[in-house]
Structure formats: C-alpha cells, structure tokens
Structure 1
Amino acid sequence: MISYVVWDLGETITTPPPGGMDLKPLNQYKEIKLRENVIEVLKRVENLGLKNAILSNTARSDSAAVKVMLERLGILEMFSYVYATKSELDSSIPQKPDEIVYKNLLQEIGVGAEEAIMVGNTWDTDILGANHVGMHSIFLQNPLVSVRRNWDSKVNNPPWIIPVWDIDSVVEAIELISQSIGSNR
C-alpha cells in the first residue's frame, strides 16, 4: 500500500533558479515560483491519505534553505519531510541516484520502498534511482526539461514506472499504481 509521494524539486514542483543550478541557497532566489497547479495536486495527494516528502539534488542549498523557500511559496506545511543533498558541486557527497540517498530517505520517513512513489523529471537520477531501490515512480515528462542521459541502465519491474506529461496527471498515476499493486496481492 502506498503511503508516501516523494517529489523532486526543480522543474518538478518549482521553476529552477536562473542558470538551472543553485549557486546560492534556494531561499535567496525570489524568482523561483511554483509550477502551475502544484498546490492543487499536493492537496489531491493529501486527500488520498498520502504524505508528501521532498528529495532534491542541490548545489549550495541544504534542507533548511529549501524549507525557507517552501515556506515563502506557501507549501512547507504540505511536506512531512524535506531533504536537499547539497551535493552537486561536491562529488564526495551522495546524491540521487545513489542508493544510499534513497535508503536514507525511506528510513527517515519510516516506510519500505514499495510504499513510496518518486515523482521527478530526470530519468537518470529520479526514476532510475528510485527504481533500483524498489520504489515506484512517476516520470514527469516535459520535452523542455526532462533529462535522460543513461540509455543503457536497465529498469526493474516491478516497481512501476508511469510516464505523465503534466503534473495534473500525477494523481491519476498514483491511483493506477495503487490499484495495480493492490490487485497483485
């Protein structure tokens, strides 16, 4: 049974900082906005009885900076857990798709991999990373921002990977995954 939806941050629920990378903490970028319909989708996820969390690779931002930004955007209270890796400029720090990052997340939120769904726009980090630890995922495809560099890595099945074209379709994808795993018992 699904209990958590884990969201990527940039280009999934928010616009990116200028240049795409947070060269200063994210809370200092006033130009970062929510993507269209994010609040409505997060509320619909909550109405399903699920909790929301954030797992984001960042360069200069730690989890505290992300929380300040989410507070400014008016959605911090919708997330029970927020983790920013602060790793993109330091290769010694684990980041998505490293299994340890996903395993730590699952331990922190207190669920098994099969009870969580990762929603993200980057195939290599969000989708493959989640898949390789046994999490279901929703690939938010957008031709302008979706990224796939690794064409050779194999996916495990299960867990489920559902592609969607816009954030409005995420809830239906969650319901589809929930129904599919419920019928396999």
Structure 2
Amino acid sequence: MITHVIWDLGDTLITPPNGGQDLQPLDQCMEVHLRPGAQGILRKVSELGYVQAILSNTATSDSRTVRRLLTRLCVENYFEFIYATQSELSHDKPEKPDPMVFDIVLDALGILPEQSVMVGNSWDNDVLGANRSGMHACWLVNQSVSVRKNVTSRVESPPFVIPVYDIADVPDALQLLRSAVTIRSNEEIR
C-alpha cells in the first residue's frame, strides 16, 4: 500500500531562485515562492492520509536551510522528513537519480520503496531515479517546468509512473495509483 509522497522541490513545489540554482541559501532567496496552489495541494495530500517528505537536489542549501525556506513559506509542517543533497556544484556527492539518495529518504521514513510515490518535474532525476529505486512516480509534464534529457530510457512497470500536468492533479493521480496497486496485489493473490 502507498503511504508516503516524496516531493521534489525546485520547479515542482517552488519557483526557482534567480539563475536556477541556489548559489546562496534558499531561505535567503526572497524571489523563491510556492507554485500556485501548492499549499492547498499539500493540505489535500495530507488529508488523504499520506505522509509527505522532500528530496531535492540542491547546490548550496542543506536540509536545515530547506526547512527554514519551507517555514518562511508556511508549509514546513506538512513534511515528516526533508533531504537536500547539496550536490549540484560537487561531483563527489550523490544526487538524484542515484539510488543512494532515494535510500536515504526511504530509510529515514522507515518504508519500502513500493510504499512511496516520488513527485517531480525531471524525467531523468525524479522519475527514472524513483523507478530504478522501486518507487512509483508522478511526472509533472507541464512544459513550463518539465525537464527530460534522456529520451531513450524506459521505466520498469511496476512500479507505476503517472504523468500529471500540474501539481493540482497529484491527489487524483495518487488515487489512481492506489487503485492500480490494490488491483495488482489482488491479482497476485489469486
């Protein structure tokens, strides 16, 4: 059963900082805001009974900095766990799509990969990374934020990948995933 939703941060829940990377700590980037409707979507996902977390590739911001940003944006209480990779300027640190960073979050939450859904705008980092780690995914395909460089990579199924146009579609996608997982489990029992 799916119990957790793990969100990407940049271009998924928040607008990017100037220049696209957090070259200064994200909580000090006053141009960074929640994407329209994000707070209501987080509330709705919480009301549906899902535990939520953040997994974000960042340049300079650590997990505490991201928590301070989320506090400034009045949404920090929706997240059980927050992990920022601080890897975008360093080739020595793992980042999405490396399974290691997905394992860090899954271990911190105490769940199996199939109990989670990764929501993000990057096919390469969020969707392929989650899929190769055994997690389901919602891919934000809105052209204003969607990123896909690797057009030849295929996903395994299951886990399932559901495209959504906007984060407003995530609650319905979660319901579809829940149904698909339930149907598949029932078929395996037979």
Same fold by TM (over 0.5)?
yes
Tell me if 1:174 matches 2:186: no
CA distance in 2, matches of 1:145, 1:2: 26
Match of 2:51 in 1: 51
Equivalent residue letter for 1:11: D
Match of 1:90 in 2: 90
SS at match of 1:80: strand
Tell me if 1:34 matches 2:39: no
CA distance in 2, matches of 1:71, 1:108: 21
CA distance in 2, matches of 1:125, 1:31: 24
Match of 2:164 in 1: 164
Match of 1:61 in 2: 61
Match of 1:129 in 2: 129
Match of 1:23 in 2: 23
Match of 2:145 in 1: 145
CA distance in 2, matches of 1:99, 1:152: 19
Deviation at 1:152, TM superposition (A): 2.3
Deviation per CA, 1:11-34, whole angstroms, max 9, x where unpaired? 100000011101011011011100
CA distance in 2, matches of 1:14, 1:145: 11
- Please list every run of 5 or more consecutive structure 2 residues that lacks an aligned counterpart in the other structure: 186-190
Equivalent residue letter for 1:114: E
Structure 1: 4+ residue segments shifted above 3 A: none
- What count of residue pairs does the alignment treat as equivalent? 185
Deviation per CA, 1:107-139, whole angstroms, max 9, x where unpaired? 111110000000000000000000001100000
Match of 2:9 in 1: 9
CA distance in 1, matches of 2:38, 2:145: 17
Match of 2:118 in 1: 118
CA distance in 1, matches of 2:29, 2:93: 24
Match of 1:103 in 2: 103
Equivalent residue letter for 1:158: P
Deviation per CA, 1:131-171, whole angstroms, max 9, x where unpaired? 00110000011212211111222211101100011111000
CA distance in 2, matches of 1:47, 1:65: 26
SS at match of 1:176: helix
Deviation at 1:183, TM superposition (A): 1.1
Deviation at 1:51, TM superposition (A): 0.6
Alignment check: 8 A CA contact 2:12 2:145 kept: no
Equivalent residue letter for 1:2: I
Match of 1:74 in 2: 74
CA distance in 2, matches of 1:134, 1:74: 31
- Please list every run of 5 or more consecutive structure 1 residues that lacks an aligned counterpart in the other structure: none
- Please provide the CA RMSD for this pair: 0.7
CA distance in 2, matches of 1:132, 1:161: 12
Equivalent residue letter for 1:64: R
Report the more deviating stretch, 137-146 or 92-101: 137-146
Identity level (%): 47
Tell me if 1:154 matches 2:164: no
Equivalent residue letter for 2:67: K
Equivalent residue letter for 1:47: E
